[in-house]
Amino acid sequence: MNLAIIASGRGSNAAAILDAIANDRLDARPVALITNRENVGALDVARAHNVPGHAISRRDFPSRTAQQRRMLEVLQDSGADFVALAGFDAILRPFIVAAYPNRILNIHPSLLPAFAGGMAPVPQTDALRAGVKISGCTVHVVTEDLDAGPIVAQAAVSVLPNDTVGSLSDRILEQEHRLYPLALRWFAEDRARIVDGRVLIDSEESQALWPHPAP
The residues that touch ligand GAR, with contacts defined as CB under 6 A, are 7, 9-13, 86-87, 107-109, 119-120, 137, 173, 176
User: Least CB distance from residue 109 to ligand GAR, whole Å?
Assistant: 4
- Distance spanning both ends of the chain, measured CA to CA: 31
Query: At residue 115, what are phi and psi to the nearest 5 degrees?
Result: 55, 45
Q: Return the amino acid letter for 1.
A: M
C-beta of 18 vs 31, nearer to ligand GAR: 18
Q: What are the counts of helices (DSSP H) followed by strands (DSSP E) for the chain?
A: 7, 9
Query: CA geometry: angle at 168 spanning 126 and 115, to 5°?
Result: 30
C-beta of 119 vs 156, nearer to ligand GAR: 119
Establish whether 108 is a catalytic residue. Answer: yes
User: Least CB distance from residue 212 to ligand GAR, whole Å?
Assistant: 25
Beta bridge partners of 151: 140
Catalytic-labelled residue, pool 54, 108, 140, 177 = 108
Q: Contact, 133 vs 159, CB < 8 A?
A: yes
Burial class of residue 121, CB neighbours in 10 A (0-12, 13-18, 19+): middle
Residue nearest to ligand GAR as judged by C-beta position: 87
User: Least CB distance from residue 13 to ligand GAR, whole Å?
Assistant: 3
User: Least CB distance from residue 112 to ligand GAR, whole Å?
Assistant: 10
C-beta of 7 vs 201, nearer to ligand GAR: 7
C-beta of 12 vs 102, nearer to ligand GAR: 12
C-beta of 58 vs 189, nearer to ligand GAR: 58
Query: Do you find a cis peptide bond into 121, omega within 30 degrees of 0?
Result: yes
Rounded-to-integer distance, Cα 138 and Cα 112, Å: 6
The β-bridge relationship of strands 82-85 and 2-7 is parallel
By annotation, the residues acting in catalysis are 108
